[in-house]
Structure 1
Amino acid sequence: MADTAREHDLVLYGATGFVGRLVAEYLAEHAPADTRVALAGRSKDRLEGVRAALPVAAREWTLVDADSEDPGSLAALAGSTSALVTTVGPYARYGLPVVEACAAAGTHYADLTGEVLFAREAIDRCDAPARETGARIVHSCGYDSIPSDLATLLLHERAAADGAGDLRDVSLVATMRGGISGGTIDSMRSQVDAMRHNRALRRVAGDPFALSPDRAAEPAPPQPPDAARPGRTPGGMWTAPFVMASHNTRIVRRSNALLDWAYGRSLRYGEVMGCGKGPAGAVTAAAVTAGLGGLLAGMTIPPTRMLLDRLLPAPGAGPSEATRRKGWFRMVVDATTESGRRYRATAAGPGDPGYAATAVMLGESGLALALDGDRLPARTGSLTPATALGSVLVERLRAAGHTYEVTPA
């Protein structure tokens, strides 16, 4: 149920960016007719252009001027709405004032961050204030990291219902059709720059439990490496490192800790990218591994960095509508429990994962925060998609055409 004491149910901050426009389109087409939505950003003229291009249902949406460098505007924005979703990144550069404003105002918040360092700082600064005001602060509500987080939650729930014991070894294999977004590249640049001359930040980014609410209490069983070498699944698929593993795995482990390690204190969770079978799969796995390593190394060397900046997608850029429509994602998550039972979860959906599918995920996360408060888990503070939204978001995403299912393996 929405909070009628506030002017808006849901604010989309960053509506004039590439992904912001996609989220606005999704909300215009799928939000209930009586949902009070506002579009926010730095330019009223650009916001008017976005609104004018939306379906008729959005023509009466409010437009709000707000700037991450103007604390007063953010405080007013956060105080005007029940929930706020933001696509304004890199979050390490622009995001913290928005989180702080929402935590202070008791406003539910969701973003698309894949930046461990930003999430860690936001947790440290905003968890306690958000608990006091009753705000749910939910990071990583897109392809980073909803499929990973919800699939693992469903595996835990199925194993618990069957009396199969805690989860022990959980491995996600991601396959997809789509391109890496300019925003993701910019986030990678931001983290590389932050760590370049700061050993402490490098240690945080490399810690598999970097987002734990209580690092000292982690049982810390050895975790699969994020930058794994090419390998093969039991089914014969060749695999390579998954570019999002270094963030998704931390989100899943945070969920486990926030649930008092309900998944299991011996949980080992890892993610890789599926590259196909046979000789072609082996070649692809080797190429992906070398390419990802070269990309990260190249970002640390100034001459190479300048070349990469010219060649890689720029923030705010993205593929055509036809290309986005042809994309898809599929994540297969295999789990073994302490009793030896095996389960498989599948999270899948249509649309380019970094754009079309992510717009669905963030849009439904925002609607859940704004409209479903009485059905959500009774938690506040700095949360994760699984711990803040749980089965309510699973239901919403299934209704939106995404697959979330668990079967015995």
Structure 2
Amino acid sequence: MSDREFDVIVYGATGFVGKLTAEYLAKHAPTGTRVALAGRSEHKLAQVRFNLPAPANEWPLVIADSNSPASLDAMAARTRVVCTTVGPYLKYGENVLAATVNAGTDYVDLTGEVPFVRLSIDKFHDQAASNGARIVHSCGFDSVPSDIGAYLLHKKVTEDGEGTLGDTTMVVRSFRGGISGGTIDSMRVIAKEAGDANTRRTLLDPHALSTEPGGYAGIKRSAEPSDMAIVSGSKVDPSLKGTLAPFFMASYNTRIVRRSNAILDGAYGKDFHYGEAMYVGGIPLVSTAIAAAVAAGTTAFLGAMSIGPVRSVLDRLLPKPGEGPTEKVRETGHFTTETYTTTTTGKRYRSRMVAKGDPGYKATAVMLAESALSLALHRDELPPRTGVLTTAAAIGDVLIERLRGAGFRLETERLS
């Protein structure tokens, strides 16, 4: 890696989140960090660079196209880390993965697509491990708060000598932000792919990402919390009042957290079971009604996306790829997640992550950029793991400190 021309290449820099990630790097990457912008159009890349803060003025432009493996190979060979925002990843991601793995280059992305990560494991894990590449998926709001929240609990419980983690639940305590055309486009692709029986089995398997290449955990769905459950807050922790609603990204985030535990050789414990939910208020009757409405609305939306004619109607109403919320929405957004556990010794713990900025855009750009910088600039401090990894398993401690330096609040406390 010492002879690479760049530390980070932002691939997809002309897209909505790509621009935000490039802007963050221009403002906050340490002096001397070598960054380049990559995409299909030199003209559009030059426009993006022109509008970035002054440190980006001399950043090189790299022409690369997801449909041109040769251009991707050339791009990957020039950098320590490829930071890609080009999704849906099931449509555009495989060739980028192949190029980075072939070059032994590290990789970060924003995927929230279970089938894509499964493909990544099956097709590229062994080669990436052999070539010394770290493939780190889901470095934004999906799934850094989930993954790092559980990892923080594991570290604190281990430090206190209070056994291992038991039933663990991440609660989205507050959330304000928009939804992107890119996220909607990923949902379209997943809905279409779900027509295939094998893909559907993968989507429904709570441990779909927990095994190594070719593996199938075969664990019953009932062995883990339901991704669509309406949960009493007091069952998660006595401090939580009211009823908790399903969190719409639980069916992805939970698989990533379980993969982290698998990569860490089950360090979270044999009694570790992980779920996610969303806080909708502490008044019992009101929160129960809201939780039921959220569950019904989520189910209806996902069902509608799986029906071709209905999806065509929704396509005309929903945001298009490349679209996103206004700057005001991005700036006034925020999120707070709290992850609760009861250990095998009966002690209660909570970790918390708090950040300003729209979760899916401004905050995600920070998390993605800091993940890339963790890999590029802190290689001697990282665990010696390679292959298809997660943020907790690949860059956990380094990323935690970099996010704190970026203004995120990350804390862990013992409750009893």
Q: CA separation in 2, counterparts of 1:217 and 1:307?
A: 38
**Inter-partner Cα distance in structure 2 for 1:84 and 1:284:** 41
Corresponding residue number in structure 2 for 1:399: 405
The aligned counterpart of 2:53 is: 55
How far off is 1:186 after superposition? 1.1
Matched, 1:106 2:125: no
What TM-score, normalized to structure 2? Answer: 0.95
Give the conservation status (yes or no) of the 8 Å contact 2:179–2:325.
no
Residue 4 of structure 1 and its aligned partner are, at CA, apart by 3.5
1:225 aligns with 2:226: yes
CA deviations 1:15-45 (Å, max 9, x no partner) are 0000100001000000112111000000000
Secondary structure class of the residue paired with 1:349? strand
CA apart distance, 1:370: 0.9
Q: Which residue of 2 aligns with 1:127?
A: 125
Q: Please, which of 245, 260, 263 is the counterpart of residue 258 of structure 1?
A: 263
2:382 aligned with 1:376, yes or no?
yes
Check whether the contact 1:9–1:37 (CA below 8 A) recurs between aligned residues: yes
Which residue of structure 1 lines up, in the alignment, with residue 177 of structure 2?
Answer: 178
5 Å-filtered alignment, 1:217-366, equals 222-229=223-230, 231-233=232-234, 234=238, 235-278=240-283, 279-366=285-372
Identical aligned pairs, as a percentage? 53
Aligned positions, number: 406
Relative to structure 2, which stretch is displaced further, 305-314 or 252-261? 305-314
Report the secondary structure of 1:353's partner residue: coil
Question: Which residue of 1 is the match for residue 395 of structure 2?
Answer: 389
**Residue range with higher mean Cα deviation, 103-112 or 234-243:** 234-243
Counterparts of 1:231 and 1:291 in 2: how far apart (Å)? 19
Amino acid at match of 1:273: M
Query: Secondary structure of the equivalent of 1:67?
Result: coil
Aligned to 1:192: 191
Q: Distance in 2 between matches of 1:173 and 1:297?
A: 24
* C-alpha distance in structure 1 between counterparts of 2:21 and 2:207, whole Å: 31
Contact kept, 8 Å, 2:178 with 2:329, in 1: the verdict is no
Deviations 1:356-391 (A, max 9, x none): 100000000011111111111111111000000010
Within-5 A mapping of 1:138-157: 138-157=136-155
RMSD of the alignment, in Å? Answer: 1.4
Change over 3 Å in CA distance of 1:132–1:148 after alignment to 2: same
Q: Which SS does the other structure have where 2:370 is aligned?
A: helix
Query: Residue 276 of structure 2 aligns to a residue in which SS?
Result: strand
> Quick one: distance in 1 between partners of 2:163 and 2:413?
16
Q: Which amino acid aligns with 1:176?
A: F
Unaligned runs of 5+ in 1: none
User: Is contact 1:230-1:286 (8 Å) kept?
Assistant: no
1:367 aligns with 2:373: yes
Give the TM-score, by structure 1 length: 0.96
Partners of 2:127 and 2:44 lie apart in 1 by 33
Q: Distance in 2 between matches of 1:185 and 1:238?
A: 28
Distance in 2 (alpha carbons) for counterparts of 1:353 and 1:85: 18
